[in-house]
Amino acid sequence: MDTITINNDKQSLHNVRLGKDVKIYNFVNAYGCTIGDGTKVGTFVEIQKGATIGQNCKISSHTFICEGVHIANNVFIGHNVTFINDKFPQATNEDGSMQTEEDWSCIETHVGEGASIGSSATILCGVRIGKKAIVGAGSVVTRDVPDNAVVAGNPARLMKYFNHILI
Ligand SMILES: CC(C)(COP(=O)(O)OP(=O)(O)OC[C@H]1O[C@@H](n2cnc3c(N)ncnc32)[C@H](O)[C@@H]1OP(=O)(O)O)[C@@H](O)C(=O)NCCC(=O)NCCS
């Protein structure tokens, strides 16, 4: 993998570890993250430091992938999907000073191989989305999602199991 930095009027990529044949569309802001071979990243996506994205994933436009998010291979992420890494975020400390990285801890989230996350879903931190699971559009995922499960709603509830063979 090469580590690249590109800053122009269309893209801001800083210290991004890129696999082969990665397609990054315009107005992506990505820094300190890893993106695997063949993955496509749509317009207006932000990917923060420490996030990892596997091979052959599709990340649709307007999605936010924060620090602590780990996405396996062949994952589909819809438009406007929001990940979260801090359950009780605060701008300032008790003394009124701005919080820094030392004042909070990042909680990790994992998305399993072949999973699909519908548009505008919000994924709370600390959850594991199983292999080939499907998260419905607009869902708020608050708990782990089993392999092959279809979940939807706020909070996301199990609808059924998708009938396909695990990788
Ligand atoms: C979750 C999903 C996979 C379910 O599809 P399905 O199995 O065909 O489900 P159905 O359309 O038969 O709906 C079954 C029930 O779930 C409800 N439902 C479906 N999707 C829902 C969702 N995203 N959130 C809440 N409820 C949902 C339906 O209203 C229906 O309820 P009812 O039985 O009370 O009428 C699908 O609706 C979905 O959200 N896919 C994500 C699509 C997406 O975001 N694509 C992004 C790229 S464009």
Instruction: For domain 2-87+106-161, say whether CATH 3.40.50.300 is its number.
Output: no
The confidence score (pLDDT) of residue 165 equals: 55
Ligand 1, CB cutoff 6 Å, lining residues:
78, 118-119, 134, 136-139, 150, 152-153, 159
Rg of the Cα atoms in the chain = 16
pLDDT tens-place string over residues 63-97 = 999 999 999 999 999 999 999 999 999 999 999 99
What pTM did the predictor assign?
0.95
Closest-CA residue, ligand 1 atom 45, reads 118
Q: What is the mean pLDDT of the chain?
A: 96
Q: What would the DSSP string read from start to end of 46-61? A: EE-TT-EE-TT-EE-T
